[in-house]
Chains A and B, each alone.
Chain A
Amino acid sequence: MTQKTKTLLERRYSMLGLLLIAPTVLVFCAVIVYPLVSAIYLSLFKIFTPTLEGTWVGLDNYRTLLAKGEFWTSLRTNLIWTVGTLTLQIIFGVGMALVLHQNIWFRSLARSLILFPYFISTVVAVLVWKWLFNDLYGILNHLMMSAGLIDWPLDYLGTMPNAMISVILVGAWKYFPFVVIAVLARLQTIPDHLYEAARIDGAGPIARFFDVTLPQLREVLVVIIMLRAIWDFKEFDLIFLLTGGGPVTSTQTLPLLVYKEAFALNQMGMASAYAVIMMLIMLVFMIIYIRRTRSEDS
């Protein structure tokens, strides 16, 4: 009898559980699952954006895009951007975290200042950097020239490779605070006796970093690198607003290509095909990350 009431209670509980998750499931189906499926469906059509009239073309879009050079150059640009900015974010982020972990003056103020670029809008970041980069009145050219680094004002965004370097640098500036906070949180949990043991063994500061700190950070660094790789790979706002993909198409990554194809060239079907391919590429990273998180969970 008790057994039976318990299962009844359990059944009522799982009913309640389903009821509580229902809004989430409904919204998910409406705004995520349905669009995702229709993105794949759209990619099989040729659609003119202003009229939204489409004709079935099957896999033709995919055949065209894989044969087109633009896809491959954009993929290459995308990888250069991702690897470049991610590397800087990690190096600078870990370095800054080590500095902020020390007992410096006004530490919490320093932390807030470092965090700020991450929280401001990309629009604000881009406006400010465009003003810094301004070729005639920008402070950056002025400082570099008075330091004797350059003789003539540089065009930071209008020529290559300057544009790519600038985009990568601004990306690193905007997103490295994420690495700082994550690493800082982990640094605070490394037990002191590990350092003392290393010191007794005669390890200097550099040896202590490589033998104690770095192995302890390994786990969190893997997670950060995967997350940031996914986010940097799909970054749209920053690049679009800074260069718009230019000069010509030198900084045009895949998200920008999707946008251009859909709203400038008015090829909605083709754009969907690009988006689907891009998602497939990202799926590799995503699955690795998700599997890792799940194994940690259990």
Chain B
Amino acid sequence: MLRKIAFNLFAWSIVLAVAFPLFWMLVTSVKPQFELFRRPPTMLPETFTLEHYWGLLTETKFLSYFWNSIILSTTTTVVVVAIATIGSYSLVRFRYRGRETLAFLVLFTYLLPSVVLILPLYLMLVNLGLSNTITSLVIAYTTFALPYALWLLRSFMAGIPEDLESAALVDGASRLGAFWDVILPQLLPGIISTALFTFILSWNEYLYALVLVNSDEARPLTTGVMNMLISSFNIEWSLLMAASVMMSVPLIIAFAFLQSYLTRGFGAGGVKG
């Protein structure tokens, strides 16, 4: 019994140490500015304030960055998941020449470093006159999101028994009818977790946003918040921590409600490879 308690305390002290930076982010964001410079630092805020959150929403461009990120990540997710769903169906359930090569190419691009693609993409998007638009970022994000989504959905698709589809075909359904009525409902959990991962990936992306967008109209949160750090004369840490918390809110929501989907996706894509 004593050993059990000791082990629990040991385990939880590590867990809390790992989570401490996030706890500190939350605490800092609700402390008034003067309390930040107190020595020794106060572990819990003596004065609780939401002024930084209010300031963030009213005095900075945070909301417009946030909105850009929402549009950008949602568009990327919808486009990529739609293409990847029919693409993975074709890769898993149809036989034609070049299918294996294509599956290989998907895996290859899934591992490809984005700094290789970013230079030609930059040239291409400048030539198309798309630089500094959200569209350019959607196009750029496809380069990592599509291989990723295809790879995830491919393993989800492979997990659906082939008999189900054959039974529908015997009953007289067309191939696409069987896809719509039988495969799609079965694949739904997989689609949801793929969509979640794609959304998180796009939400967190930094490099493409840094290179391709240089105007506040199209800037997403990642580069926008970083700009707030660089451009401010003296760094307002509690404001930045409030921004960090707000930036993580969609992820926390996704986490709380859809944890089972997330771990499922993790098992399918990350580990099985």
Instruction: Decide: A35 near B96, CB < 8 A? Known: A24-B150, A132-B21.
Output: no
Q: Are B270 and A181 in touch, CB under 8 angstroms?
A: yes
Q: Are A24 and B120 in touch, CB under 8 angstroms?
A: no
Question: How many residues of A are in contact with the other chain, CB < 8 A?
Answer: 90
Q: How large is the interface on B (under 10, 10 to 19, 20 to 34, 35 or more residues)?
A: 35 or more
Residue A263 is within 8 A (CB to CB) of chain B in the complex: yes
List the A side residues contacting B21 at CB < 8 Å. Answer: 117, 125, 128-129, 132, 173
List the A side residues contacting B89 at CB < 8 Å. Answer: 20
* Min CB–CB distance B157 → chain A (angstroms): 12
Q: Are B19 and A116 in touch, CB under 8 angstroms?
A: yes
* Min CB–CB distance A185 → chain B (angstroms): 5
* Min CB–CB distance B140 → chain A (angstroms): 8
The secondary-structure label for the interface of chain B is helix
Residue A171 is within 8 A (CB to CB) of chain B in the complex: no
* Min CB–CB distance A227 → chain B (angstroms): 7
How far, in whole Å, are A237 and B226 apart by their CA atoms in the complex?
11
List the B side residues contacting A38 at CB < 8 Å. Answer: 120, 123-124
List the B side residues contacting A181 at CB < 8 Å. Answer: 263, 266-267, 270-271
Residue A259 is within 8 A (CB to CB) of chain B in the complex: yes
Interface residues of B in 114-148 (CB under 8 A from A): 114-117, 119-121, 123-124, 126, 139-140, 142-143, 146-147
Residue A59 is within 8 A (CB to CB) of chain B in the complex: no
Residue A248 is within 8 A (CB to CB) of chain B in the complex: no
Closest A residue, CB atoms, query B82: A23
List the B side residues contacting A35 at CB < 8 Å. Answer: 117, 120-121, 124, 143
Q: Are B226 and A123 in touch, CB under 8 angstroms?
A: yes
Q: Are B117 and A36 in touch, CB under 8 angstroms?
A: yes
List the A side residues contacting B22 at CB < 8 Å. Answer: 116-117, 120, 128
Q: Are A120 and B143 in touch, CB under 8 angstroms?
A: no
How far, in whole Å, are A295 and B229 apart by their CA atoms in the complex?
48
List the A side residues contacting B241 at CB < 8 Å. Answer: 127-128, 131
Interface residues of B in 173-187 (CB under 8 A from A): 175-176
Q: Are A262 and B244 in touch, CB under 8 angstroms?
A: no
Instruction: Decide: A131 near B237, CB < 8 A? Known: A14-B95, A25-B102, A35-B120.
Output: yes
Q: Contacting A178 at CB < 8 Å: which of B91, B211, B259, B270?
A: B270
Q: Which 3 A-B pairs have the closest CB atoms?
A: A17-B94, A234-B113, A24-B87
